[in-house]
Amino acid sequence: MPNRPQRLLALAQLANSVGDGAFYVTSALYFTRSVGLAPARVGLGLTLAWAVGSLVAVPLGRLADRRGPRAASVLLALGTSAAIGGFLLVREFIPFVVTACVYASAQSGLSAARQALLAGLVAAGERTGLLARLQATLNGGLAVGAALGGLALSAGTAAAYRGVLALDAVCFLACALLLSRLPAVTAATAVTAVGAGSGGRRFAVLRDRPYAVVTLLNAVLLLRLPLLSLALPLWITERTQAPAWLASGLFVLNTLMVTLFQVRAARAVTGIGTALRVLRRSGLVMFASCAVFALSEGRSAWSAAAILITGAVLQVVAEMQQSAGSWQLSFDLAPADRMGEYQGFFGTGVTVARTLGPLVATWLLLGRGTPGWLLLGALMPLAAYAMGPAVRRATGHRTPRETGEPLLAS
């Protein structure tokens, strides 16, 4: 990467993504087998936790705006580490829910604060490109972490699972240390206690209806999130004759392609106009992906595998395009003096998609088969093409506001 702040951001991303990758593949078994919680209670607790995380994302993002995104990022990374350490002490459902709420809140706030920190350190024209590199780093780290988690799964012991949680906690400590070495930033436009772009209102993003519509449409596009982790494994085993291990292979394929090609996919995005064009292409490609997945129903092992791999390639192309386009919009439509607050709100789209996505995916795809795939696919271009009017309204309804570049704090 071209300069030290960007390298530190990438290293911080790598550190926590390695820990996350290991945690993701082992946490369910740790909570059920080692802690002794029922699977349904684990699911309920995590759903409640991420709901709380989505609610506090905006206040925590606003805190990053007011107190500085670097300090907030470091604090929230430490909070995440502490919450993961707390999971090692959990033995009952209520403490699990409380700890999970702290974990989800810290993770949601950290995401918003780091986006604000990136906006303060990187010129507007370079942000999407850097986010693409960070996304590639994220996927590489997740792959490494998942491999380490796989070793714990092979061992299958409580000690191995606890070792993974300890690793994740240490990784977030390393993330906090790396973030603390970044320069402090402040918005050039936030020279007074209230920003002209927001009218001085508290939590102005909650009154910004055009931005909310853009966030909602992006959440629809993010309904693809549970496909690889939930819908396709069930689809493969219940509706095709392809081997069950193909689900893991499709996940690895997705991770490798994002790692290798996300930066290239983001080069086409240089502003709002190009972001909208890329999002429209993403919606069409995602529709094609869903249509291809539908063709695998009832097929023989080799035929189904070939079709599913083709669909997965189309899906990851759509994913990379959608990510690049949405990153650009999330920054360009946000006031410079409220970047953390707006990024926190935009990030709730991920939480909504992860909460509702499994219900939508299982109801549509497993319950209705091919028509369900086509309906889910059709939602993608509809949402993508609706972005145009929504973004034009978001940019046109405001009076001129502060969009100056953030500066390094002295």
102-140, pLDDT tens digit by residue?
999 999 899 889 988 888 888 877 888 888 888 889 888
Residue 296 has φ and ψ, to the nearest 5°, of: -80, -10
Q: Looking at residue 15, what is its pLDDT?
A: 93
C-alpha distances in angstroms, 163 versus 69, 148, 150? 31, 10, 12
DSSP H helical segments within 156-271, as ranges?
158-180, 209-221, 226, 232-239, 246-266
| C-alpha closest to that of 264 among 404, 69, 129 | 129
Give residue 283's pLDDT. Answer: 97
3-state secondary structure of 408: strand
Beta bridge partners of 408: 185
Averaged pLDDT in 10-residue chunks for the chain of 410 residues: 81 92 83 86 83 86 87 95 96 94 92 87 83 87 84 86 94 96 67 41 75 94 84 86 84 85 90 95 97 94 95 96 93 83 85 77 84 95 96 72 43
Question: What span, in angstroms and rounded, lies between the C-alpha atoms of 2 and 25?
Answer: 33
Q: What is the sign, positive or negative, of the torsion defined by CA atoms of 49, 55, 56, 57?
A: positive
Cα separation, 362 vs 340, in Å, equals 34
List, in sequence order, every residue forming a beta bridge with 407; answer none if it has no partner. 186
Q: Show the CA angle centred on residue 181, arms to residues 176 and 183, nearest 5°.
A: 120
Q: Write the DSSP assignment of 100-166 as a string of letters.
A: HHHHHHHHHHHHHHHHHHHHHHS-GGGHHHHHHHHHHHHHHHHHHHHHHHHHHHHH--HHHHHHHHH
| pLDDT score at 409 | 45
| CB proximity list for 221: less than 8 A, separation 6 or greater | 279, 282, 283, 286, 322, 326, 380, 383, 384
CA distance 121 to 7: 12
Residue 62 to residue 200: CA distance in whole angstroms? 13
pLDDT of residue 284: 98
Give the integer Cα–Cα distance in Å for 227 and 231.
Answer: 5
Q: How far apart are CA 391 and CA 214, in angstroms?
A: 7
